[in-house]
C-alpha cells in the first residue's frame, strides 16, 4: 500500500512537471486515427465511441486504452488494458503495448474519463497525439479541446466532437 502511494505521487509529479512546461503547438492536418483513454467503468461507452469513430476516420488503427484497477488479459487488437501495476516504482510506464502506442504519432487522443486518474493523465501527457480532446473540465491543460457532456451520452459527445473538428478543419 505504501509503495502504491509512492508510485501514485511520482506519476502525479511527472504529469505536473510536464504540464508546467511551455506548450508547443503541433501542425495538425486531417485526423486519420484515434486513441481513446477510458476507465473500466466507461469501457462500453468507449467501445461505442470507437465504433462510431472507426466509420468517421475509416481507419483500422484506432485503439481503446482501458484503465482497470486489476490487470486484465489483452483480448482484442483494438483494446489495450492498463493498470497501476504497469508503472514502475519510479513512475515509468512498463506496459510495452501502451508505451509503443503513445510513442507513435497519431491524429486524435480522446480522454474519456471524468475522475482524477494520474495514470491515464500520464498516458495523455506523454502521447504524441497531434490533437487532444477530453470530457473532464478539470484537465484543461492536457486537452486542446474540452467537451462537457455526460460520459454515458456517447452520441452527444460524438456530435459535438464532429462539429468542432469540422470547424477546426480536422475532418471533412
Per-residue pLDDT reduced to its tens digit, 70-117: 766 665 667 899 999 999 888 899 999 999 999 999 899 999 998 889
Query: What CA–CA distance (Å, rounded) separates 158 from 141?
Result: 21
pLDDT at 134 over 60: yes
Question: What range defines the domain where residue 138 resides?
Answer: 2-167
Q: What is the pTM of this model?
A: 0.86
The 3-class SS string of 115-132 reads CCCHHHHHHHHHCEEEEE
**Burial per residue of 55-81, b for 16 or more beta-carbon CB atoms within 10 angstroms, e otherwise:** ebbeeebbbbbbbeeeeeeeeeeebbb
Helix orientation angle between 118-126 and 96-103, rounded to the nearest 10 degrees? 40
- Kindly state whether residue 101 falls inside one of the protein's structural domains: yes
* Cell numbers given for 20: 508546467
pLDDT in tens, 2-41: 667 777 777 878 777 766 776 665 656 778 899 999 999 9
Are 114 and 136 in contact by the 8 Å Cβ rule? The answer is: yes
Query: What CA–CA distance (Å, rounded) separates 172 from 159?
Result: 14
Q: What is the CATH number of the domain that holds 53?
A: 3.40.50
Query: What CA–CA distance (Å, rounded) separates 102 from 109?
Result: 10
What's the whole-number mean pLDDT along residues 31-53?
92
The residue to which cell 502521447 is assigned: 127
- Kindly state whether residue 80 falls inside one of the protein's structural domains: yes
The residue to which cell 514502475 is assigned: 88
- Kindly state whether residue 91 falls inside one of the protein's structural domains: yes
- Kindly state whether residue 162 falls inside one of the protein's structural domains: yes
Are 89 and 6 in contact by the 8 Å Cβ rule? The answer is: yes
Look at strands 128-134 and 145-146 and give their pairing: parallel
- Kindly state whether residue 74 falls inside one of the protein's structural domains: yes
Query: What CA–CA distance (Å, rounded) separates 35 from 50?
Result: 8
Are 94 and 109 in contact by the 8 Å Cβ rule? The answer is: no
Return the minimum-mean-pLDDT range out of 62-76, 103-117, 146-160.
62-76
- Kindly state whether residue 96 falls inside one of the protein's structural domains: yes
User: How many structural domains does the chain have?
Assistant: 1
- Kindly state whether residue 106 falls inside one of the protein's structural domains: yes
- Kindly state whether residue 172 falls inside one of the protein's structural domains: no
Amino acid at each position: 500500500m505504501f509503495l502504491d502511494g509512492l508510485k501514485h505521487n511520482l506519476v502525479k509529479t511527472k504529469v505536473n512537471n510536464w504540464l508546467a512546461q511551455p506548450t508547443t503547438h503541433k501542425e495538425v492536418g486531417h485526423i486519420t486515427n484515434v486513441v481513446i483513454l477510458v476507465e473500466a467503468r466507461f469501457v462500453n461507452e468507449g467501445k461505442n465511441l470507437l465504433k462510431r469513430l472507426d466509420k468517421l476516420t475509416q481507419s483500422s488503427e484506432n485503439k481503446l486504452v482501458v484503465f482497470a484497477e486489476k490487470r486484465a488479459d489483452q483480448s482484442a487488437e483494438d483494446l489495450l488494458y492498463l493498470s497501476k501495476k504497469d508503472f514502475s516504482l519510479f513512475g515509468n510506464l512498463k506496459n510495452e503495448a501502451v508505451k509503443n502506442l503513445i510513442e507513435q504519432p497519431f491524429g486524435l487522443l480522446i480522454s474519456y474519463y471524468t475522475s482524477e486518474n494520474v495514470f491515464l493523465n500520464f498516458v495523455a501527457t506523454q502521447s504524441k497525439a497531434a490533437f487532444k480532446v477530453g470530457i473532464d473540465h478539470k484537465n484543461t491543460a492536457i486537452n486542446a479541446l474540452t467537451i462537457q457532456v455526460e460520459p454515458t451520452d456517447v452520441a452527444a459527445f460524438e456530435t459535438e466532437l464532429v462539429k468542432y473538428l469540422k470547424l477546426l478543419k480536422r475532418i471533412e
